Amino acid sequence: MASEPNSSLPAWRALTEHAASAGQLHLRELFARDGQRAANFRVEHGHWLLDLSRQRITAQTLALLFDLARAADLPARIAAMFRGDAINSTEGRAVLHTALRSSFAGPPDVQAEVRESRRRLTEFAAAVRRGELSGSTGRRFTQVVNIGIGGSDLGPLLVCESLRHEWSGGITPHFVSNVDRTQLEDLIRSVDPAETLIIVCSKTFTTLETQANAHAARDWIVGALGEEAVAAHFVAVSTNAAAMDAFGIAPQRRFTLWDWVGGRYSVWSAIGLVAELVIGSEKFEQFLAGASEFDRHFIEAPYERNLPVLMGVIGVWNRSFLNLPTLAVLPYDQRLARLAAYLQQLEMESNGKSVTLDGLAVGAATAPVMWGEPGSNGQHSFFQMLHQGTPSAALDFIAPLRGSWGGTLGQDLALRNCFAQTQALAFGLGLDEVKAEMAKAGTSSADIARLAPHRVYEGNRPNSLLLYPKTTARTLGNLLALYEHSVFVQGTLWGINSFDQFGVELGKKLASGISMTGDKPTAGPGAQGLAALIAYVARNR
């Protein structure tokens, strides 16, 4: 057992002291002190630019954060992850999602299994896209439905939505995740079962929501096409062979993954099959290659130029030292509309922990609440709070230089908005400036006195800006790997296990003990309230 959490390290204490001094400087002051700040805090890698100049940091902040990273054994942890050590210590598992895309990650046997899996997936996708594999009536598949939840939904959904302009082959994706049956009912009313391929995506094949939706979809197919159609219309991605047997998934329609792939890190595996069917294997390989480029960069680049390390250490600085409770992710590209939902699981399921690897209290604030929307739309709703509300948030702006269709027309407007917001949030508008502007506009002194305080922008909202050429399979792979590694860096600095998720279990367990017909006795501290709720539902529906 380690005797102390990372928050007791001298490097942590040095940062606490530094936060009390340099951390209190306003961004206006930081820019005034350094005429080269924009250039000094800008890092380029490949086609990517990361602008950190509007983070509330100095060169010394970064040096101290790198000291903490080394004291927290970041170099050894990175090596251990890529080697395939069981760094998910609470579950005794390796963490090798990188092996799904990078030939330099994991041992040779893992690489061989990944190659074989890729071969089967490519063959299957090609056969479906060419119409060689068809439905039970011989009709070509034109619709593919992914039934899954959490990591078995959010990643494939993000890839399909972000790469809509790369769809080819005439296959339209659909996603069913919510247990309330709404998505399934909508689907049943809109697609022809004879042309529909259903992928049941569930690492465990026991997840309640996915099982309920998969069985309902099975009933739909059987009702429309007969029991024998199940083999032709269903595919499964899972580690659970016995459960796939019981469901009736044909052996040649099963794709596996491994216990070293966490759900929220699984889009690179067969869990991404729906996307591969929709964009084709060539584009899917580009997505994998994009992630691999950032794996290499994460391993090799010095910290000063290492994008995931920089984003990770700044995440810890903002959360644990500047006490910013949330991180808003604001893409200026409608294609990335689902990015925040994906990153929510990645960040909050990975680092939403309060004990260290050794079971001690972390002693610091960990994962921020991650949230967001496309920036252009957010500006007309929640940005009011970002500018003038409490508490203050950290922000990640993400913008491609060109629209996904290749043009610049609308994207120029989007970039203007994006750049304006980074400036406004960082520098704000002081009371004297507001008064001067109002006086210049001819406002009376009485109105200036009354209204000026409402028009003040405090600024000092720290933000990063990521620019890249265009949303493509490759740049999407870059972006997701960048955030994955940033999350890993943060987890390492906090000394926590970013790869388990025990926090989701209690709710699942309690739900399985509840009967809406009241035929299971309720027990435990909430029993009387629960019984009353169940009775209320029975009386009122």
Which one-letter amino acid corresponds to residue 23? G
CB proximity list for 242: less than 8 A, separation 6 or greater: none
C-alpha to C-alpha distance for 322 and 270, rounded to whole angstroms? 40
Mask for 322-361, x = binds ligand F6P (CB under 6 A): ---------------------------x------------
| Helix (H) / strand (E) containing 465 | strand 463-468
Please report, for residues 55, 202, 397, 435, 534, the alpha-carbon distance to residue 340 in angstroms, rounded to integers and kept in the order given.
Answer: 20, 22, 12, 38, 34
Q: Does 151 bind ligand F6P (CB under 6 A)?
A: yes
Taking CB under 6 A as the criterion, the residue among 5, 84, 106, 150 binding ligand F6P is: 150
CB nearer to ligand F6P: pick between 232 and 237: 237
CB nearer to ligand F6P: pick between 57 and 121: 121
User: First CA to last CA across the chain, in angstroms?
Assistant: 54
Measured from each CB, the residue nearest to ligand F6P is 263
Of 116, 304, 508, 520, which one is the catalytic site residue? 508
CB nearer to ligand F6P: pick between 207 and 356: 207
C-alpha to C-alpha distance for 79 and 182, rounded to whole angstroms? 45
CA dihedral in degrees (482, 484, 485, 487; nearest 10)? 120
Contact 112, 179 (CB under 8 A): no
CB nearer to ligand F6P: pick between 156 and 495: 156
Q: Does 263 bind ligand F6P (CB under 6 A)?
A: yes
CB-based burial label for 493 (10 Å; 0-12, 13-18, 19+):
buried
- Residue identified by tokens 């083999």 is 231
In the region spanning residues 481 to 510, those forming contacts with ligand F6P, defined by CB under 6 A, are: 501, 504
Size of the site for ligand F6P (CB under 6 A): 14
Of 195, 349, 373, 484, which one is the catalytic site residue? 349
Q: Does 149 bind ligand F6P (CB under 6 A)?
A: yes
Two tokens, residue 445: 């002194």
CB nearer to ligand F6P: pick between 112 and 208: 208
Does the annotation mark 283 as catalytic? Answer: no
Stretch that binds ligand F6P, among 146-154, 166-174, 184-192, 288-296 (CB under 6 A): 146-154
Which stretches of 404-464 are DSSP H helices? Answer: 409-427, 431-440, 445-451
Taking CB under 6 A as the criterion, the residue among 53, 207, 478, 490 binding ligand F6P is: 207
Stretch that binds ligand F6P, among 61-69, 148-156, 307-315, 410-418 (CB under 6 A): 148-156
Q: Does 211 bind ligand F6P (CB under 6 A)?
A: no
Taking CB under 6 A as the criterion, the residue among 202, 292, 478, 498 binding ligand F6P is: 202
CB nearer to ligand F6P: pick between 55 and 210: 210
DSSP letters for 248-315 = T--GGGEE---TTS-GGG-TTTGGGHHHHHHH-HHHHHHHHHHHHHHHHHHHHS-GGG-HHHHHHHHH
CB nearer to ligand F6P: pick between 253 and 435: 253
Q: How far is the CB of 177 from ligand F6P (least distance, A)?
A: 9
Q: How far is the CB of 73 from ligand F6P (least distance, A)?
A: 26
CB nearer to ligand F6P: pick between 34 and 500: 500
Q: Does 366 bind ligand F6P (CB under 6 A)?
A: no
Does the annotation mark 380 as catalytic? Answer: yes
Q: Does 264 bind ligand F6P (CB under 6 A)?
A: yes
Q: How far is the CB of 186 from ligand F6P (least distance, A)?
A: 21
Q: Does 213 bind ligand F6P (CB under 6 A)?
A: no
Stretch that binds ligand F6P, among 144-152, 404-412, 513-521, 525-533 (CB under 6 A): 144-152
Q: How far is the CB of 501 from ligand F6P (least distance, A)?
A: 5
C-alpha to C-alpha distance for 460 and 425, rounded to whole angstroms? 6
Does the annotation mark 508 as catalytic? Answer: yes
Which one-letter amino acid corresponds to residue 341? A
Q: Does 210 bind ligand F6P (CB under 6 A)?
A: yes
Which stretches of 317-472 are DSSP H helices? Answer: 339-344, 350-351, 375-378, 383-388, 409-427, 431-440, 445-451
C-alpha to C-alpha distance for 129 and 284, rounded to whole angstroms? 14
CB proximity list for 518: less than 8 A, separation 6 or greater: 531, 534, 535, 538
Would you tell me which residues interact with ligand F6P (CB under 6 A)?
A: 149-152, 202-204, 207, 210, 263-264, 349, 501, 504
Active site residues: 349, 380, 508
